[in-house]
Amino acid sequence: MHNKKRIVVGISGGVDSAVSAYLLKKQGHEVIGLFMRNWDSLLNNELNNENLANICPQEQDYLDAQKICQELGIELIRKDFIKEYWDYVFSYFLDEFKNSRTPNPDIFCNKYIKFSAFLDYAIKELKADYIAMGHYAQINFDEATKEYQLLKGIDVNKDQSYFLSQLSQEQLKYTIFPIGNLTKPEVRIIAKDLNLSVANKKDSTGICFIGERNFKNFLDNYLPAKPGKTVDIKTKKEIGTHDGVYYYTLGQRKGLNLSGFKNPYFVVDKDVKNNILYVANENENGWLMHNNCLVNNINWISKDKPKTIKCFAKFRYRQSDIPVKLTFINDNEIKVKSLQAVRAITPGQIAAFYLNDVCLGSGIVNTIEK
């Protein structure tokens, strides 16, 4: 990429994408900003008389994105991907919750929206050579295998390769991560030196369509509360009630509506069919620590899948690398054997696999085994 290229940068309204755009422009490329609008709160009728700004800050983000592009002297295009987001991300999110699993919509937003619908629009409609995003990750082309590799970002505290682990060779081929070799403090310094208006803007947290508000209140608009029994798994006695088993995740302690007990309770199992939440207040490791699970919906970034491989896994973002042995049952299912017990592996979570700094791919935890 030594000569001038036409690059469409996903401008989110935050500091990371702003600095990404700046670095590419500084390198002499033709840079175009593209702001994605993925959610329409009014369209989906879930405002409940709350202020829109308290639900999804994307309108403020759009104003920030406009200001960023003015400051950098680049064009900004606004594009709706609302239907695609509903079809490929939110519907999956709801289906998983209905089955009392714990989905990660951000990973599928990357797979189907940012690096699919966005990529297609940038390449086909805007005639871009590449797209760029402000993720803390890196891409390497391996001359030996003639394949692209997804690498961890230099900043171990901000590395986002976990969220990108469902990307394909074709998606990586057209993607640039300009800040993957920088730390967050370094990105902030660049933004401050440029006097960018978002230099001190705090990082966004949570999922856009939920924003900062109560998760249960949001979900109740789509999956109405279905109260049921909370049962002590050891004594088999009912000790309380819950709002619906899909609201809870394994290991959860807060929000169980259980008080007055000597030891605090935590979630250990869920019976979706009978709407029963099972809890325990002793032997936490015995209930929550597991070594084995089956993972499906496999995305293996390299073309060649091994039969077995010793590598590392993450079952949630920012989790330390866990040594594992993978055995491919077929192209779409892996048995994962952890060499150390892992707390609260949860169906629906993404298991991402690594060999040193290379992300090998990922899949969805389907079942947990002792």
Sequence ranges of the domains in the chain: 6-193, 225-282, 287-369
**Average per-residue pLDDT for the chain:** 91
What CATH class is the domain 225-282? mainly beta
- Does pLDDT of 122 surpass 80? yes
Residue 53: the pLDDT is 42
Residue 1: the pLDDT is 52
Residue 55: the pLDDT is 43
Residue 59: the pLDDT is 79
Residue 284: the pLDDT is 80
- Does pLDDT of 190 surpass 80? yes
Share of the chain above pLDDT 70, in %: 92
In three-state secondary structure terms, 106 is helix
Count of other CB atoms within 10 angstroms of residue 54: 11
Contact by Cβ (8 Å): 143, 39: no
Query: Per mean pLDDT, which of 50-54, 162-166, 341-345 is the most reliable?
Result: 162-166
Structure token pair of residue 235: 């004594």
Contact by Cβ (8 Å): 174, 127: no
Contact by Cβ (8 Å): 369, 294: yes
What integer is the mean pLDDT of 155-159? 96
Per residue in 201-254, pLDDT (tens digit) is: 988 766 666 655 577 777 888 888 889 999 999 999 999 999 889 889 899 999
Task: Return the active site residues.
Answer: 109, 208
Interatomic CA distance for residues 111 and 340, integer angstroms: 30
Q: Is the CATH code 2.40.30.10 the one for domain 287-369? A: yes
Closest CA to 18 of 194, 169, 235, 156: 194
Residue 213: the pLDDT is 59
Domain 6-193 fold is Rossmann fold (3.40.50)
DSSP H or E stretch at residue 139? strand 137-142
Interatomic CA distance for residues 347 and 297, integer angstroms: 12
| Beta bridge partner(s), residue 229 | 241, 276
Lowest mean pLDDT among 63-72, 82-91, 168-177, 221-230: 221-230
Residues 6+ apart with CB under 8 A from 152: 137, 138, 159, 161, 354, 357, 359
- This prediction has a pTM of 0.90
Structure token pair of residue 148: 């692209």
